Amino acid sequence: MPAETFSDAEQPRDSKLAIKRGLRLKCPRCGEGALFYRYLKVQPECPCCGLDLTPQRADDGPAYLVILVVCHLAGFMMAILWESFRMEPIVMASLMSVFVTVVALALLPSAKGLFVAVQWANRMHGFGRRDA
């Protein structure tokens, strides 16, 4: 068998561990380096282990995931608020707007970390290269 069969490039990656690290905004490979250098800007490479993070292609995926989660939360919350307090529609709309905005902005980095980690664990978009 060729020697590269046994290299790191052929070893299975632990998806659960990578996802945990991604959700904590850490490098999916080492779990130490910060995944982002700004709010949603992914580092070009991990500052600790040197993993090349440029192959990540999260694109709009994290936003779709966050919208899915936040809109479900908002739907249940609207029903509960309406049944419990019978608020004026403008008050409820204002409260829900603030709630949805704050929760969505809070969840976006973790969602992006999740997407990057899943891509790395499954060797997607260049993460399967020998050096990635």
Stretch that binds Zn ion, among 12-20, 29-37, 90-98, 123-131 (CB under 5 A): 29-37
Using the minimum distance from each CB to Zn ion, give the nearer residue, 52 or 108: 52
Answer whether 13's CB lies under 8 Å from 123's CB.
yes
**Is residue 18 at the binding interface for Zn ion, with CB under 5 A as the rule?**
no
Which stretches of the chain are DSSP H helices? 15-23, 61-85, 89-121
3-state secondary structure of 36: strand
- Nearer to Zn ion by Cβ, of 33 and 62: the residue is 33
Least distance in Å: CB of 88 to Zn ion? 51
Smallest distance from Zn ion to CB 77, Å: 37
The binder of Zn ion chosen from 17, 23, 25, 48 (CB under 5 A): 48
Closest CA to 69 of 107, 35, 102: 107
Residue with tokens 């419990």: 84
User: Across-strand partners of 45?
Assistant: 52
Count residues contacting Zn ion (CB under 5 A)? 8
| Rounded-to-integer distance, Cα 125 and Cα 132, Å | 10
Task: Give residues in contact with Zn ion (CB under 5 A).
Answer: 27, 29-30, 33, 46, 48-49, 51
